[in-house]
Amino acid sequence: MKPLPVICTLVLLSACGSSANEQVEVLRIETGRFDISLLASGELRAAESTPVMPPPGSRIPRVISWLLPDNSIVKKGDVVMRFDVSDAERGALETGIELTKVDLHVLTREFELDRLLAELGGELDIIDIERIMVEQFDVEDTLAYSRMEIIDAMRDRELLDYRAGHLEGKKDSYTDRQSAELEVLDAQRATQKSENVQHQALLDHSEVRAAHDGFIVYEKNWWEPPPQVGITAWPDKKIASIPNLDKMEAELLVHETDAVGLMVGQAVELTIDAYPDRPLSGTVSSISPTAAPIARNNPVKYFTATVAIDQADPEWITPGEQVRAEIHISRIDEAIAVPNQVLFQGGEGDWLFVLEGGDLKKRSVTLGTRGAYRSQVTAGLEPGDEIALHPPEQEP
């Protein structure tokens, strides 16, 4: 916490009492602005940015084969990253060959079925002709034909009917079997086609291009290496971003023990390390719900506070710049505040020593906002009062 001091006057008092005189330093109270603030550091980033992710086309991880250096300036449509497609090329070739084999097998089976059906059709045509001939031979005329001739003609008709039924059954059997075989081949073709489409999609989407003008900023964290050639990129995972430089914010790290009183909406003053003579202003826009470590082997935890910056000049305010900030936790005008060292606490509450009639006397006070070094007094003191910086029995 870094409070702005309240205007006070230091006086050296010769306190008189029953014991020997003691020299005690006192403060003359006056009202002024009471400001509690905390210091933090962090870096700038764009409030809005376009994420850079692996292109669509597959749910499998992909290996980066080339990428632009971090913070490279890009124009809309520029290639910022490429992925290894050697496996996709080999897979597309293999599945293409398998598709051709399946198609040839389908043609062979269809040709075979057509041949068998044609043979059966020829036999059925012959049977139809024989039927016509039998039907034209009238076996009902017992005067013209003998009994044996009539019996033979009836047997011929029954045989033709049997042969025709048998051939029709074979025709249906061939058709059903062929349909089953074609369904199996269709399933094989669908599988190969699906794999081929996946491989082809990887080939068609082997590059990532900039969605708009800007520069590329790669993701950085302590638990994994930054994006680089040879690193595996997982589907739907952000690899980098292209920030919108028209709207900037700062991401500050606040030690968990210093974050008391930190709230959204508090004013912030910032300074970019590279431009110490150009102060910025902003407002706390969000705070992480919990504190977390920022280094793998360091248990110290920090809250992350996001500050919306009022200015946005891409000429010198750019993402990645290190900043130092002062967050104003509380600011009270016309307040009375005292150093925490003069305050004491007992069963009756808070109190301090006040100079009254040449003697230091104990006086109860009511405290308001408290800081790490100074606290606001809302009742018990008036402007012009003089308080002891330490108890009268202690040496200054």
Same domain assignment for residues 114 and 180: yes
Contacts 24+ apart (CB under 8 A), 94-100: 95/192, 95/193, 95/195, 95/196, 95/199, 96/196, 98/188, 98/192, 99/189, 99/192, 99/193, 99/196
Closest CA to 249 of 199, 318, 148: 318
Lowest pLDDT segment from 62-66, 115-119, 200-204, 230-234: 115-119
Same domain assignment for residues 150 and 194: yes
* AA identity, residue 46: A
Domain boundary among 225, 243, 261: 243
Same domain assignment for residues 261 and 322: yes
Q: In what order do the strands lie in the sheet with 79-83?
A: 207-209, 79-83, 62-67, 232-233
Predicted pLDDT at 146: 53
Closest CA to 51 of 232, 239, 206, 315: 239
Same domain assignment for residues 112 and 77: no
Domain boundary among 193, 222, 243: 243
Find the domain containing 224 and state its range: 51-84+207-243
Look up tokens 């002709």; give the residue: 129
Residue 315: give its domain's CATH number.
2.40.30.170
Is 369 a member of any domain?
yes
Residue 154 has pLDDT above 80, yes or no: no
Q: Are 2 and 39 in contact (CB under 8 A)?
A: yes
The total number of structural domains in the chain stands at 4
Q: Which helix (H) or strand (E) holds 317?
A: none
Is 1 a member of any domain?
yes
At residue 179 the predicted structure's pLDDT band, cuts being 50, 70 and 90, is: confident
Same domain assignment for residues 237 and 251: no
Residue 152 has pLDDT above 60, yes or no: no
244-265 pLDDT, tens digit each: 888 889 999 998 888 878 899 9
At residue 368 the predicted structure's pLDDT band, cuts being 50, 70 and 90, is: confident
Same domain assignment for residues 293 and 357: no
Same domain assignment for residues 115 and 178: yes
Is 36 a member of any domain?
no
Residue 228: give its domain's CATH number.
2.40.50.100
Residue 132 has pLDDT above 80, yes or no: no
Same domain assignment for residues 354 and 391: yes
Predicted pLDDT at 79: 92
Is 8 a member of any domain?
yes
Most confident segment among 62-66, 135-139, 215-219, 284-288: 284-288
Looking at the chain, the whole-number percentage of residues with pLDDT higher than 90 is 20
Same domain assignment for residues 294 and 392: no
Q: Are 105 and 265 in contact (CB under 8 A)?
A: no
Same domain assignment for residues 379 and 284: no
Domain boundary among 331, 351, 379: 331
Is 37 a member of any domain?
no
2-58 pLDDT, tens digit each: 444 444 444 444 433 333 335 678 889 898 888 888 889 999 988 888 888 888 766
Residue 352: give its domain's CATH number.
2.40.420.20
Is 172 a member of any domain?
yes
Predicted pLDDT at 319: 82
Residue 111 has pLDDT above 60, yes or no: yes
Is 19 a member of any domain?
yes
Lowest pLDDT segment from 85-89, 149-153, 326-330, 364-368: 149-153
pTM, entire model = 0.49
Is 76 a member of any domain?
yes
Same domain assignment for residues 182 and 286: no
Closest CA to 389 of 56, 100, 24: 24
Same domain assignment for residues 395 and 257: no
